[in-house]
Chains A and B, each alone.
Chain A
């Protein structure tokens, strides 16, 4: 069965500190991984996807198939990064359902 695990429900860091939000997945096929973010009072929006291999708002995430992980990283956190972050998995092709992790609430303190 497909499963996404985000072990940290809450994560708090200080401004300027590095941040890493962990995501592990379970899927026997070829996965497509996403990070979605929900800022306060805003809709859920795509932050990045692994096939794009791009950096958005300073965030990066590398798919590690050996460790079945897709951790989200940023070297210097900003207060505006405070939000709820969800890791999601799509089955091969990406046109099927998304399986979401439970989310990590990131708080960046001044």
Chain B
């Protein structure tokens, strides 16, 4: 399966600031996704990162709060904007080579907001 590099692996941020998380894949993939895992909770899909167009957001997530870029088939970024303590979570990138393949996950970014 593809090698997925996600960074930073963790960060501690101040309230009101923004952080951009990067996800790099070593091969071209059709689909890239961003998930959130809040403390003690399961994974929830934030959005599907579409190459060359705006991301598709799930209910409860908006572009102003979680802007996403996907400039090509191997790279995507998720920005967590105007952070508050409620944004403290693990953010995970996942990729899917094609529709017949399962999703594979990066190591995640553990984000804490003070």
Chain A positions within 8 Å of B, measured between CB atoms, are: 34, 36, 43-46, 49, 86, 93-95, 97-103
Contacts and interface: CB of A to CB of B under 8 A. Distances in A.
A86 B41 CA distance: 11
Interface of B: 30-31, 33, 41-45, 48, 58, 92, 94, 96, 98-108
A44 B92 contact: yes
Given A44-B92, A101-B42, 12 more contacts: A43-B105, A43-B107, A43-B108, A44-B105, A46-B104, A49-B102, A95-B30, A95-B99, A97-B58, A98-B43, A98-B94, A102-B41
B101 to A, nearest CB: 8
Give the interface SS of chain B, mostly helix, strand, loop or mixed: loop
Nearest to B43: A100
Contact of A34 (B42, B92, B102, B107): B102
